[in-house]
Chain A
Amino acid sequence: MSIKSRFIQMSSIGFSLGVFVGLFIAAISSIVSGDDSFHIYGEQFAQKIGNVTLSFTIELLCYGLLGVVGMGVKTLTYDNDKIPLLKATVMHFIIVMVVFVFVSNLLCWFETGDIIGRMIFYGCFILVYAMIWAIMSAIYKKEINTINNKLKQIQKEN
């Protein structure tokens, strides 16, 4: 399968996944809020748009966009073996972060002026990517050590 086909395939999956995750988070937020109502759309954003249906549609599209970027960009970074793992992680992080900042500002996910809240969230974002890179690196390092040991054993026998 070509990179373009794979990008389209993963982006399609990503869109569905993004919408699902967005709605799932809305459901969790509703439960956590404890006021017995389903907060399916962002009220601040709906007030800004002035139309609940339109604002909900835009929110769904934004969830899908995040999914598209997350999964689609993966095929261009992590799945491209010519890009070293660290570079792939940084590239993926930057692209997803840019789109996330755009979406979060558009949908009013943070209170205006809430710098601390944003910094905490972005910090967690960076931490998650650092953990992903560290875990993947540890796995590959272990695999390579196993391969080297096995190789020495085979070469010794021969």
Chain B
Amino acid sequence: MKDIVDIDVIIDEKYRDLLVKLYADKHDSRVDNIVYAIENAAHSDTSPVAAYDGGKLIFMPQREIFRIQVVNRRVMVETNEASFESKTALSALEEQLDDSRFFRISQSEIINLYHVKSFDFSVSGTITVLFDNGKESWVSRRRVKALKDLLNRV
């Protein structure tokens, strides 16, 4: 077995979005490491988000954030593990975030579509978004069309 990885690069106009296929005889740590490295590289053009963990400033990769919401006038950046406070206004953060991944669902909340499990429309007419981690948020009716347009573009 060789130590190095064979890499075939195929340049074809039909692949507008980068597609990486990994062939291996079994799923092991080597495969996981390569996938992680590719993901990191793919998302390196999106800037990390600065927030405070207590008094300590940290920088979070955008892919780890599942939502950013305003709670009691504080902008809270939430990951699956914890919530952190950002000193940046929500509208300013919105400009910084990857607009193919993040979407503003209301005046006070931006969500990461890649952490969304599904959207739901209840009998009472409330639209909610259910995340992979089981949490829920409410979606503004007026944002439904824009959401649909975004998903058609992505």
Check if A and B associate: yes
Query: Which A residues have a C-beta under 8 Å from some C-beta of B?
Result: 81, 84-89, 133, 136-137, 140-141, 143-144, 146-148, 150-151, 154-155, 157-158
- Using A146-B148, A151-B151, A154-B151 as known contacts, say yes or no to A81 and B119 having CB atoms under 8 A apart: no
What's the minimum C-beta distance from A56 to chain B, rounded to whole angstroms? 40
Beyond A150-B151, A154-B154, whether A86 also contacts B124 by CB under 8 A is yes
Complex contact A140–B127 (CB within 8 A): yes
Q: Kindly list chain B residues whose C-beta atoms are within 8 Å of the C-beta of A144.
A: 119-121, 127, 144
A89, A144, A154, A155: residue with the most chain B Cβ atoms closer than 10 Å = A144
Q: Verify B123–A148 contact, CB threshold 8 A.
A: no
Contact at A143–B123, with CB atoms within 8 Å?
no
Q: Which of B124, B127, B152 contacts A87 (CB 8 A)?
A: B124
- Number of A-B residue pairs having CB atoms within 8 Å of each other in the complex: 59
Query: Given B17, B106, B141, which contacts A85 in the complex, CB threshold below 8 Å?
Result: B141
Interface of B is mostly: mixed
User: In angstroms, how far is the closest chain B Cβ from the Cβ of A82?
Assistant: 8
Tell me the bound Cα distance from A125 to B52 in angstroms: 55
**Across the interface, which residues of A come within 8 angstroms of B113, CB to CB?**
151, 154
**21 chain-A/chain-B pairs, Cβ below 8 angstroms:** A81-B106, A81-B140, A84-B122, A84-B124, A85-B126, A85-B141, A86-B124, A87-B124, A136-B125, A137-B125, A140-B127, A143-B145, A143-B148, A144-B121, A147-B144, A150-B148, A150-B152, A151-B113, A151-B118, A151-B119, A155-B114
